[in-house]
Amino acid sequence: METRNEAMLIDGTWRPASDGGTVEIENPANRTIIATVPKATHADLQEALDAAERVRVSWSDTSAWERSTILRRAAEIIRERVDSIAQLLTIEQGKPLPQARGEVHSAADQFDWYADEARRIYGRTIEGPNQLVRTEVRQEAIGPVAAFTPWNFPVMLAARKLAPALAAGCPVILKPAEEAPSACLAMVRAVHDAGVPAGVLAAVTGDPAFVSATLLDSPVIRKVSLTGSVRVGQIVMGLAAKHMAAVSFELGGHAPVIVCDDVDVKAVAAQAARTKYQNSGQICVSPTRFLVARSILDEFEAEFTRASAALALGDGMDAGSELGPLCSARRHDDFAALVEDALARGAVATTGGTSLREELGGHFYAPTVLRDIPKDARVLQEEPFGPLALIVAYDELEEAVEIANNTNLGLAGYLFTDDISRAQLLSEKLRVGMVGVNTFAIANAASPFSGVGLSGMGAESGVEGIQMYLRPKTVMTGISDSLR
């Protein structure tokens, strides 16, 4: 396969880095170099910043209806190009092609949703104590945005930031993930082709630490949106503090799943296994800690293990592949270290627990199920972000809740029960931003995606998502009572 040479979008033009520097992109399924992307220089980033500042007022002053039309057209173009974007996504990120197509369609949904929300940015009037003063609250675009996106959903997570920011009237400088930028750039091209004016949307590639430090050193940036690790979020928050830029972060999770003793065990186990290994477990809301009533533990474990062991691993472009590789050598090695730590401390693998990198040629790791995990194992506190399920028994529901809440991460949680009272009470007690009751489907364009604790702040998607890119302005107007 011929190596592709990608370009950056700066001030309406697709171009290389000003000094010609590039970064190589690897196919994780076979470890071959498949593309290069520009390595942005300080001059490149300054040009993007200057353009965003130049169009800041004109874009926010653009009619909400016009912005809506552009976003709707962006959704249409993304759907027209779904196959080509999905193929890039699979080749550089590793997920099976059907999952890649689903991601691209989800990205289009974001633009569709915010095409409507652009026309529903509402202010309000307030009845005050003085009848000779009128009080109005307006919602205005917060200003230029720096958006940083990860490699696990490089298209959809970028859309979660671009769509509401553009709908609100904010210029955006997007930094795709360095491991998987090509599909994201293809999506950006679709948005650009929908009619976004020059300077309103930029996509820059290269060294993430350099790009973030350079962009956030500028007072032009008034909002930062990041999806990434807790460590990176803490670093970026420190950088944003220099000019008091607003922030919204989604920083990962360690999702608990409480399985009560009144469920159809085989059905829940099968559903759980299907969900667990999507995108090789590299999903921030992936179910990870399965807290199972002791009376059904053996049956659940057997069914879950059987389903896990039966998965077909392979290149995501192959029709029969159900589980692709981990995204990079670093992700493979970090994940393997967590599993090895748990096994060394006494955990038992009912299946998996081994790397398949040498056998299959890419960054593959066998679907792994662990039981009898000691409390001091790192994996009980650190997000594994890979094809790993932890099975833990509980005796009382209070114990399950305590275990579920025993981390500093609180993004998603799940529970399965046929008892409506249990469902209501457990959903209230889980310390997370999102709860799935008898379902793992908890994210869509219309509902807020948010966490608590170290899982971040702010929200993406839904009505709440566009509010992250707006600021309220209070206007009080004194009047004379000329009718008296």
pLDDT in tens, the chain (484 residues): 578 999 999 999 999 999 999 999 999 999 999 999 999 999 999 999 999 999 999 999 999 999 999 999 999 999 999 999 999 999 999 999 999 999 999 999 999 999 999 999 999 999 988 889 999 999 999 999 999 999 999 999 999 999 999 999 999 999 999 999 999 999 999 999 999 999 999 999 999 999 999 999 999 999 999 999 999 999 999 999 999 999 999 998 999 999 999 999 999 999 999 999 999 999 999 999 999 999 999 999 999 999 999 999 999 999 999 999 999 999 999 999 999 999 999 999 999 999 999 999 999 999 999 999 999 999 999 999 999 999 999 999 999 999 999 999 999 999 999 999 999 999 999 999 999 999 999 999 999 999 999 999 999 999 999 999 999 999 999 998 876 6
Beta strands in 422-469 (DSSP E): 434-437, 452-453, 456-457
- Can you tell me whether residue 389 is helix, strand or coil? strand
The whole model's pTM is what? 0.95
Helix axes 265-276, 297-309, angle to 10 degrees: 40
Residue 174 has a pLDDT of 98
CA angle 34, 180, 80 (to 5 degrees): 90
Beta strands in 95-184 (DSSP E): 124-126, 133-141, 145-148, 172-175
Residue 153 has a pLDDT of 97
Residue 484 has a pLDDT of 61
Between the CA of residue 223 and those of 64, 141, 363, what are the distances in Å?
A: 20, 10, 35
Residue 122 and residue 61: Cα distance in Å, rounded? 15
Residue 452 has a pLDDT of 95
Domains of the chain (ranges plus CATH)? 4-251+455-473 (3.40.605.10), 255-437 (3.40.309.10)
Residue 49 has a pLDDT of 98
Nearest CA to 218 out of 197, 198, 231, 204 is that of: 204
Residue 1 has a pLDDT of 59
| Pairing between β-strand 368-371 and β-strand 348-351 as defined by DSSP bridges | antiparallel
Residue 82 has a pLDDT of 98
Residue 176 has a pLDDT of 97
* Sheet-wide strand order for 4-5: 4-5, 32-38, 22-27
Nearest CA to 417 out of 260, 294, 302 is that of: 260
Which are the catalytic amino acids? 250, 284
Residue 3 has a pLDDT of 87
Residue 296 has a pLDDT of 98
Q: State the distance between the two ends of the chain, measured CA to CA, in whole angstroms.
A: 82
* Sheet-wide strand order for 388-394: 348-351, 368-371, 388-394, 287-293, 255-259, 412-416, 434-437
Is residue 432 within 8 Å of residue 443, measured between CB atoms?
no
